[in-house]
Structure 1
Amino acid sequence: MATFREPCLRDLDQRGFIQGATIKKSSREDLCHYFGGIPYALPPLGPFRWRLPRPLPTCYRYGTRGNPGRFTGGTGVCPQSATLMGTTGDGPSTLWDEDCLQLNIWIPAGEPPANGWPVFFYIHGGFLQVGSPNDINPVGLLSESPFRAIVVAPAYRLNLFGFLGSRELQSAAEDEPTGNFGFWDQRLALEWTYKNISYFSGDASNITVGGYSAGSHSAFKQLAYDLYQPDSKAVIRRCVMWSNGPGMEPKTLSSAQAQFDELLEHLNIPSSLPTVDKIGKLKSIPARQLLAAASTMKRHQFRATLDDVFVPFDLYAEIDSGAFGARMRSRNVALLMGECRDEHFLYGTWHPPEDSLASVVQRLRADYPAPAVDALVAHYYPNGRLPAECADWRDAFGRIYADVQIHALERGFVDKLVLGGAGDLVFRYRIEWRARCVDNIFPPEWGVTHSSDMPIWWWGNAGTPGPLGDDEKKLVEKAFVGLFGSFVQGDVAKVREEWGTQGHKEVRRLKADGNVDVWYDEMWEQGLEVWDVLRSVGKAEAGNKREVDPKAKL
């Protein structure tokens, strides 16, 4: 679709004026409005590397009427060393910028509803290690499909910039929590959206938080944080979790410490140095050098830490008991979540192990606590042999990784939401159909793998992987996009009426032939088994969560 842009001015009251762009198909047809790279926090640079994001001060102004702040590009891209199809990856380092706490806003054209447009706050994926909100382009979604809502997409700190934790960082941060900076970034962006979206014709009382892959996991973490806030501070009305679940219980501070110590070793920073010197040296090292060191580590994946602030020690116990589901029920927060049939093919390409069980174990320990990995290996490979359905150990890694990230723990999570009385608030889906444009990025033999359904949710995404055909647009609108739009608008009653399922073990499925049916979940019991295996490890480790006072001075 050929488009062009015209300037679009917005008055943000005490924040001043900003200029974005109206994206047009013709002189008379507006497709949507766009504002890109708007700061939602102060830059996390210099002494503020590995500190909580800082809100913009009350005196901060984006621009004036005569000289508005110009926001027509994209956000800064958090430095990242690894590549993955569909992410920014190893793009030119000139795109990298630790000053990345910015967001992009896409607004439908036309007159908004009386209360303003509903808001879809979308968190990008990339294993919490790579990616950028600049990778999505919802122009077609907003202008051609039934989806009519503002899309807000924040950048946030990734990999070691967003998820490095240790006692030294905790001590240097004084009374601040540490280790989950990327999640805190997302929360601050969400709060900025709540406070400012009315200036963009949005309805702050109608926000859906969602994401894909690690963005889906982030959406879960944001939902969990929001549910445990007082009602007066609650922001989230609904949640979308595309191809990811709650994940396993995060690492303890001692596990994070081991990763931090390994990083120091690879950077040749003596462990004997005082805390202030260790942190000072780390904060002075250029991003590229940090990433190069991290890429050679055994523990090269940086993830959440149990800090008892953003990620409470008892969060997963609350899920198990049904208390989490009861909170969802009391707030009436609906959840749309699901999976692709062949998630494991793409997962198997993410830092794949060598072709041996020992290498699979080492690779899994880069992501997950060792006791959890040992329990998984004992469950999946009790005799140490390659399962018959796996081509090799790399294939086995992709399958177990997909189960932990998506298939198994999604089912365990839903089971516990039902226990808490929130079962009727959950809408599950399964994708077995693949758009033609997916052939541009994934080989046919990968089938409906992880992220191959992105063209469904983003209406082809106007570029990568490519446009949908007219026949495909009709198909995806009927299957999911129409109901997705109703969900984000807040018409959950309509979604419930048309979703077609009865009970939590039934799933709305888009079949390979393009038809929609209701699938009885044949993987349910298998998923619960894996959930129970990992939760038994989490319960056994419960006594270790508080083994170190996180605020102890070194």
Structure 2
Amino acid sequence: MQSQNRTHPARFVLSSLAAVVLAVSLGGCLSGGGGSSSSNDEQPGPINRLQVSTQQGDYIGISDAGMRIFRGIRYGQAERFASPEFAPAHEPAIQLSDAFGSGCPQVASPFGAASVDEDCLFLNVYAPEEPGEYPVMVWLHGGAFIYGSGGATYDPARLVEQGVVVVTLNYRLGALGFLPHADLGNANFGLQDQQLALQWVQQNIDQFDGDANNVTLFGESAGGHSVMSQLASPGATGLFHKAIVQSGSYNGEQLPLPLGQLLFGNPTVAATDCATSTSDQLLACLRSQSVQDILAAQPGNILPVWGTAALPQSINAALASGDFNQVPVMMGSNRNEGSLFTLLALADDPTALDNPANYIQAVKGLLGENPALDAQQVAIDYLTRYADHPVPTLGAYNAIGTDWRFNCPNSNQWNLLQDQVPTWGYWFADEEAPPIEGLPSPFPLGATHTAELQYIFSSRGELIASGATDEQLQLADHMAAYWTNFAKYGDDPAIGPNATDGAAEAVEWPRLLAGGQVLRLDTPAPAAVAKSAFDATHNCAYWRSPPLL
């Protein structure tokens, strides 16, 4: 049996992996041909449910926590700054283990381990032990398009036990995945990686008892933005049938390739030894650079750009025109999205919010990507709005990051979607959510960016260890059921994320229509609330006509 180059799982932000118990689930069958048989007749051997045959070759997985687990399957390979291709065929069977494939190149962060391995296009499949034909959920991780992986952070046991197959995956990040430059051709290589993984799912997931005709693409933050980009991408047509977007509505206008090249591509190239390369020399030069040099040169944040074959138009333009992959969508964001980014900003400059003058400068930096905004007036308006907050500059800065960056763009995309495809909106609002492991904060983060992930991926034991209350444990159960019900029934607008008996023990989640309701995910129980309440809380009328210079 062959083995693959892989890294061992590490404890990341939200979850840790239990020790793996290797067990083989066997099922025998007897031949039933006509005529009599004798003890000398050959009988078929036992079926090894842990060995699967893909179009690239056989894999042997492991059994743990009630799942058949296949970690570290290489789905693709790619030359630097080139479109990916399927991995070559292999034989004999590859024995998999508890180790994940290498993460894509990135520097170390609370959201991912450092890596310089460009051989990183791996995926992981988690399937129920019982035979069946299960809905498939394909997870795209977050991390600002520069951090993260589909590895140990995301243990989907809570979802799999609901009767779905879950696939998590890596895609190229940072400049290696999204460097916007005309000389690189179809530059959204990370989006192309995601599409190749979805093609792999279409070709192979039946071997894992998954239904290739019932695939839900879901992701959070950069993963949610990726889901939205795949909705807008012609290359993803037919590769998924439902979409869940978690905190991914930001920057829906995206940048056209020429502007992205001006703001991100050219400065990155200028920071390498390729600064003086001509157009016909640039690709070869960039391929000659070390991974470390590329990582050192890349910007601190990056996004897919439109105007490429993978993304001909922006997300919002595609939604507004109706020219997108029209599948049912479940979408939402968190009550206090911005507080996590406030924490990170204060780590860089602990004095940033010490007084109104520093606060105004911090807001100007936050809003600087849109030079048309009158950032000083926004800062003043929000400081007035949060005058009664215990720390007004902190409350105002948190709210700007929440309302401007995430939640009002989310509201706008709800409006664009709801008349075209079945749409369900959520508002995660548990402001007492357990703290995020590895990110201590001197102020309450509330229902911050990423806070909902532990309710979907963390085990009951992990939630208890992090301080979850009985009501929060029940909310986690409800959320896992809503997410997997959507995967099962979301193509029926009368059911959506609800169970077939209405919603079982949870509140029924209404489909979002004009003037309608979204589901507030909070303790003591979820509740359907008017979308107008979401808009009012997040000052969305203000952001529809913000102060401009």
TM-score, structure 1 normalization: 0.76
Match in the other structure for 1:61? 89
Shift of 1:311: 1.9
Match in the other structure for 2:41? none
CA distance in 2, matches of 1:453, 1:315: 24
Residue pairs, 1:504-515, within 5 angstroms? 504=513, 505-511=516-522, 513-515=523-525
Are 2:47 and 1:38 aligned?
A: no
Letter in 1 for 2:118: E
Shift of 1:377: 2.9
Match in the other structure for 1:337? 331
Are 2:224 and 1:224 aligned?
A: no
Match in the other structure for 1:52? 83
CA distance in 1, matches of 2:54, 2:456: 34
Match in the other structure for 1:550? none
Match in the other structure for 1:255? 259
Match in the other structure for 1:198? 206
Match in the other structure for 1:189? 197
**1:236 alignment partner, SS class:** coil
Letter in 2 for 1:319: L
Shift of 1:358: 4.7
Residue pairs, 1:33-432, within 5 angstroms? 33-42=68-77, 44=78, 48-56=79-87, 60-64=88-92, 67-70=93-96, 72-81=98-107, 83-84=109-110, 87-88=111-112, 91=113, 93=114, 95-112=115-132, 116-138=133-155, 140-142=157-159, 145=161, 147-170=162-185, 177-178=186-187, 180-225=188-233, 233-245=237-249, 247-258=251-262, 259-271=264-276, 273-294=277-298, 299-313=299-313, 315-321=315-321, 323=322, 328=326, 333-350=327-344, 355=352, 356=358, 357-358=360-361, 360-362=363-365, 364-365=367-368, 368=369, 372-375=370-373, 377=375, 380-381=378-379, 388=386, 391=391, 398-418=398-418, 420-422=419-421, 424-432=422-430
Q: In the superposition, relative to structure 1, how do residues 486 and 468 fare at CA in structure 2: closer, same or farther (>3 Å)?
A: farther
Q: In the superposition, relative to structure 1, how do residues 33 and 469 fare at CA in structure 2: closer, same or farther (>3 Å)?
A: farther
Shift of 1:508: 1.4
Match in the other structure for 1:27? none
CA distance in 2, matches of 1:293, 1:18: 38
Shift of 1:362: 4.4
Letter in 2 for 1:261: N
**1:134 alignment partner, SS class:** coil
Which range moves more in the overlay, 254-263 or 469-478? 469-478
Shift of 1:466: 5.2
Tell me the alpha carbon deviations over residues 306-359 of structure 1, each in whole angstroms, 9 at most, x when there is no partner. Answer: 1242222365334235x258x63xxxx221122222111102244567534455
Which range moves more in the overlay, 408-417 or 352-361? 352-361
**1:35 alignment partner, SS class:** strand
Match of 2:63 among 22, 32, 45: 22
- Asked if the contact 1:461–1:467 (Cα under 8 Å) also holds between the matched residues in 2, the reply is no
Shift of 1:528: 5.5
**2:61 alignment partner, SS class:** strand
Shift of 1:409: 0.6
Q: In the superposition, relative to structure 1, how do residues 397 and 78 fare at CA in structure 2: closer, same or farther (>3 Å)?
A: farther
Shift of 1:125: 0.4
- Asked if the contact 2:134–2:163 (Cα under 8 Å) also holds between the matched residues in 1, the reply is yes
CA distance in 1, matches of 2:396, 2:90: 51
Match of 2:530 among 495, 510, 520: 520
**1:135 alignment partner, SS class:** coil
**2:528 alignment partner, SS class:** strand
Aligned length: 480
Letter in 2 for 1:447: G
Match in the other structure for 2:453? 454
Which range moves more in the overlay, 74-83 or 194-203? 74-83
Shift of 1:21: 0.8
